[in-house]
Amino acid sequence: MDTAREHVQLTGWTPVFEHGEPADDDPRREELNRGIIEETGDQIIQTRSRDIPRLVAWQYCHVGLVGSDCADGRFEQKIEVLSRFPYGREWHAPQPRVELVVREDSRIKSIEDIGPGAIVLAETQHANLTKHFLEEKGFKVVRLKNDTGPEVHNRLREDNAVAIQLVAGSIPVLLDTELHLGIMVNERGKTVEQYRLRVLENLYDVETLLIANRDVMRDDEINREKILQLKEGLENAYVRVQREFESFGGRERI
């Protein structure tokens, strides 16, 4: 996201992508997402947030900036969190939230209205978070590979259970008034408004994390030093951003 790239640049390390910022529909997007840090020559890539913890865990990358909803509870033996920053797509917008939503015309008005047979749509990175949330609310939870129709809901009712169905794509588009609830990241509320959704509950406040590979931090002195420099630079830059924001009375971003 733009804020993460800008945050890195504020440390004095300039991300440069050879072909500029790739469009979402560019067939060369994967290639165009590779660049360098101009001042150091280190490689940098842009990729989906949910993939970053895995890439750092496998040492495909040494360090990453990623949403906490994609990292917390994943690869804990392989990665460590070095810093946390409470921003999302914009520096001073409300902190992003992972929320449980339904269609505005759904009969479900609160958590108490969710009964056996309900299916919650979630992206892969939110599966464990969703399961933990539902179990904390007292639900028996199963996971589905596919929603094959009404018989699935009937079987869930017989088992007195609700299900999590993992999907790839726009959850607001996929939600069904009667059959589905959804898990999505909400920041300014525009998606909720545009798709006529209703928020039932906030599951999680999302932060931007600086993560690093544990083995690199333990065994690779050269890269550990670079990573610690980046950590210090990011923390100092964030303090400057906050001070400038406050100097404008909290009305403008830098």
SS3 assignment, position 222: helix
Average pLDDT of the segment spanning 130-138: 94
Residue 72 sits in the same domain as residue 109: no
pLDDT value at residue 208: 94
| DSSP state string for 102-153 | EETT-S--SGGG--TT-EEEE-GGGHHHHHHHHHHTT--EEEES---SHHHH
Q: Does residue 74 lie within any of the structural domains?
A: yes
Query: pLDDT band for position 109 (50/70/90)?
Result: very high
- pLDDT tens, position by position, 161-185: 999 999 887 898 888 887 789 999 9
Domain assignment present for 190: yes
Mean pLDDT of 74-80: 89
Overall average pLDDT of the 192-204 stretch: 92
Q: What is the pLDDT of residue 32?
A: 62
Give the pLDDT mean for 50-60: 94
User: What does DSSP assign to residue 61?
Assistant: S
pLDDT at 147: 59
Residues 79 and 56 in one domain: yes
Between 222 and 252, whose confidence is greater? 222
Q: Which helix (H) or strand (E) segment is 243 a member of? A: helix 221-247
Does residue 124 share a domain with residue 64? Answer: no
Q: Are residues 196 and 102 in the same domain?
A: yes
Q: Are 196 and 215 in the same domain?
A: no
Give the C-alpha separation, 136 to 1, whole Å: 32
Contact indicator for 26, 38 with CB cutoff of 8 Å: no
Q: If you average pLDDT over every residue of the chain, what do you get?
A: 87
Lowest mean pLDDT among 17-26, 204-213, 228-237, 238-247: 17-26
Mean per-residue pLDDT, 94-122: 92
- Please check whether residues 197 and 219 belong to one and the same domain: no
Counting the structural domains of the chain, the total is: 2
Q: Is the pLDDT of residue 101 over 70?
A: yes
- For β-strands 63-67 and 208-213, DSSP reports them as antiparallel
Q: Are residues 121 and 160 in the same domain?
A: yes
pLDDT at 61: 95
Check whether residue 130 and residue 176 sit in a common domain.
yes
254 occurs within a structural domain: no
| Reported pTM | 0.81
Show the domain range for 118: 97-205
Q: What is the pLDDT of residue 76?
A: 85
Residue 52: which residues within 8 A CB-CB, separation 6 or more? Answer: 61, 64, 65, 66, 70, 71, 211
Do 37 and 82 lie in one domain? The reply is yes
How much is the average pLDDT of 235-240? 94
Position 25 scores a pLDDT of: 59
Residue 17, domain member (yes or no): yes
Kindly state whether residues 146 and 78 are assigned to the same domain: no
In-domain check, residue 252: no
Is the alpha carbon torsion for 96, 134, 110, 105 positive or negative? positive
Q: What is the pLDDT of residues 19-38, one digit of tens each?
A: 656 555 555 555 568 889 98
72 and 112 share a domain? no
Element (H, E) at 218: helix 214-219
Average pLDDT over residues 92-115: 91
CATH number at 155 reads 3.40.190.10
pLDDT at 88 over 90: no
56 belongs to a structural domain = yes
The verdict on 164 and 112 lying in the same domain is: yes
Output 244 or 20, whichever has higher pLDDT.
244
Q: Considering the domain boundaries, does residue 253 fall inside one?
A: no
Q: Identify the pLDDT of residue 64.
A: 96
* For helices 221-247 and 2-10, angle between their N-to-C axes, nearest 10 degrees: 100
pLDDT at 20: 59
